[in-house]
Amino acid sequence: MPAARPNTLDRDGELFVEVDPTGRFGRYDDLLGAGAVKKVYRAFDQEEGTEVAWNRVRLRNFIEDPVLINRLHSEVKLLRTLKNKYIIVCYSVWLDEDLGTLNFITEVCTSGNLRNYRKKHRHVSLKALKKWSKQVLEGLEYLHTHDPCIIHRDLNCSNIFVNGNVGQVKIGDLGFATIVGKSHAAHSVIGTRIYGTRACCQDIQEGDNWSKPQALNKIENPEVKVFIEKCIAEPRARPSASDLLKDPFFFEVNNDDESEDPEA
C-alpha cells in the first residue's frame, strides 16, 4: 500500500514530506542514518505526540525475487509483536509498491547508537558497562527463546541504541534478522547465538571497533577479558545468552537489581 504524499503540516507547523497510509505517522526530510539498503528519517507519531524513526528499505536489490520481498515484509511484520524493554519497538510496517520500498516505524532512542555514545563519553565505570552488557543479553535471551526463534545476525554497537538519560540500551536494526522455526532453533543458534556479544563487549569497553585478536589484547581488565573469551569459544562451547546472564561477571549488577526491587 503506498504512503500518502500531501504537504501535510504537523501540529507545530513543520512540513511533512510524506505520511503513512493510515495518516498517523508523518516523515520529515531529516536523515538520521543510512546504510547499503536502508535509510532512516526523523518522523512524528501524531496520535501519541512523540518522535519516531521512519525506516525505508529500497527493494530494487530484490526486485527479481518477489518471494524474498514477501518474506521480508512478513518477517518485519513479526517484529511488531516483540514486547521486551531491551528491544526497539516497531509500531507499523507496510509495503509501498509505487516507490518499491518496505517501510517500518520504530521508536527513537534519545542518545543514538552505543558506538557513537561511547566515543562521546569515554570515561564509564565497569559497573555501567556491565549493566549495558546485561541489558543486551536480556534482549538476546528474549529473541532466542521467542517462538519462532529470532537471530539478529548483525549485532554490534551500531545496532544498539541508548536512552542516556536513564542508562538504558536497546537492540535495534532487526529488519533483516533471521527467523527460524522452533524445530531448527537450537541448531541455528548454536555457533552464532552469542558471538556478536564479544564485539559489543569490546566496543563497550574500549569505545572502538572490534578486531580480533588485536582488540582482545587491548583489554587490560582480566575479568572482562575472561568474559569475552567465553563469547568467542568454539561454536558448541559458546554459552547462550541465558547462560551468560548467570555468569559471575554480573554478580555486582544482579545484587544491585535485587536491592532496587521493592518486593525483594
The model's pLDDT over 133-162, given as tens digits with 9 standing for 90+, comes to 999 999 999 999 998 888 887 788 888 999
Q: What angle do CA 195, 200, 206 make, to 5 degrees?
A: 130
pLDDT at 213 over 60: no
Using DSSP, state whether 104 is helix, strand or coil.
Answer: strand
Lowest mean pLDDT among 113-127, 136-150, 173-187: 173-187
User: Could you state, in order of their start, the residue ranges of all structural domains in the chain?
Assistant: 18-107, 114-258
The answer to whether the beta carbons of residues 186 and 240 sit under 8 Å apart is no
First vs last Cα of the chain: how many Å apart? 50
Residue 184 is predicted with a pLDDT of 45
Dihedral sign of CA atoms 154, 158, 159, 160 in order: positive
Q: Where are the beta strands (DSSP E) in the chain?
A: 18-19, 25-34, 38-45, 50-58, 90-96, 101-107, 149-151, 160-163, 168-171, 178-180
Rg (alpha carbons) of the chain, rounded to whole number: 20
Kindly report the CATH class assigned to 114-258.
Answer: mainly alpha
**Mean of pLDDT over the chain:** 81
Homologous superfamily of 18-107 in CATH? Phosphorylase Kinase; domain 1 (3.30.200.20)
* Closest by CA position to 79, among listed 153, 152, 24: 152
pLDDT at 21 over 70: yes
Residue 74 is predicted with a pLDDT of 75
DSSP assignment string, 175-188: TT-EEE-HHHHHHH
Question: Residue 78's CB: how many other CB atoms inside 10 A?
Answer: 17
The residue that leads in pLDDT, 54 or 225, is 54
Active site residues: 173
